[in-house]
Chain A
Amino acid sequence: MSTAAITSPGEASPTPTVSGHGGSPILSVKNLSVKFQDNIAVDDVSFDVSAGEVLAIVGESGSGKSVTSLAIMRLVELSSSGKVTDGQMRFSRADGDIIDLRTASESTMRTIRGNDISMIFQEPLTSLNPVYSVGNQLAEVLRVHKGMSRREAKRGVIELMERVRIPEPKRRARQYPHQMSGGMRQRVVIAMALACQPKVLIADEPTTALDVTIQAQILALLRELKNDLDAGIIFITHDMGVVAEIADRVLVMRKSHAIETGSVENIFHSPQHPYTKKLLSAVPKLGSMNGTDSPALFHLDKEEV
């Protein structure tokens, strides 16, 4: 298959990068390609993320969303048989240095992971240690990342837990991960990410396993934190409803390609690429049935490929 053009109103080049918010991007990914043996998982994908914005990467399963995020963390080669075969990922550190995450040394990457770039996964238990109380784990992060003393960290833990709106933080701090609900655990993981004050926060399907009322709370929390964290957030999801709730800008992926990118309003209200149109025509929009009594077929946009 040939490289799909990214359609974006007003831009003619085949792979334009829409940058957010006018500010210079914290992370600029250009022509990223990732291969697993003969399977091209990510093909020539480019995007920017700026401080204080949420870029949603949306697409159906297997489209290359998670692999893209693992490539940014440089975990593709470390933890699996994959290889980044092309592209650059320019990341601006707090001190002004610009580092290409593709070529940086492994020791540099170790200082970046969890520090400058944090990650939240669908299953919060992935990021938590089962044998330590959540308070101890948060304290550890504060000591390592902020150089706090034991006593400072103890107070810091309670502040962090309050910030992510965990009720009864003193009691909760003594709990172990398995004693908490999924939503509460995800709050702990977000608190850990906050403690690191990352420049980029990557959230891969962070609400997919949660019930809808809990999902709404976590989305509201992330929206609040986006502002005072001043980080760029990459929010990966397959759920167009969630995209509409959280994103400033959207990158649509399909079969390892970036198909279209634009502001969330443009993507939803004037999608350009046939695939984006087809995707949106298949999304039920709550409230769209008002005034009717009977079920209604989806009028699916046919995609000319």
Chain B
Amino acid sequence: MKQSPDDFQLVRAFQSGDEKAFEELIKRYQRQVANIIYLTLGNRHAVEDLTQEVFIRAFRSLLRFEFDASFYSWLYRITVNLCIDEIRRRRIKRTFSLEFFSEERMSEGEKPSKKIPTPADALLESEKKDIVASALQKLRPPHRSVLILREYEDLTYEEIAQTLRISVQAVKSRIFRAREEMRTLLKEYFQERT
């Protein structure tokens, strides 16, 4: 369990008007929030800004926190929701720029690469850990989030269910499917290793 006994005390202090308590909560969870964002979105671009945005959203709703879940599962829900918003926003932006500005972009020599590196390509051009990260990006966002909370944050099925407000059964099946998909995506990589 990651629940520090002091999280609730800090939240109570914040609710009584102590803003420094909130800064302590930021210090405690900034790294985890940043990495969940990074793993979910797949690049470092704007990770710091988005991490800040998570804490802004948290600040705005922490007064209504009811102590019915751990602070971190509440915070990770905000993080996952923000990532989903961001994925949607980037998808719209990408669709828009591809449809309307593709020619200008090409002329400027910054045509976005539609090709996501295959495991074999990635193995040549980057470290092995990048292969896993790029496979992760191919998962559907709901499967991706569940796997990240499990593998990176070591949350239990129960905690993930609480964080994402889904059933434990749904968590179990999403993790299983995410892993099976990852195995298929990383087939070549695993074959090369054996």
Chains A and B belong together in one complex = no
Chain B residues within CB distance 8 Å of chain A: none
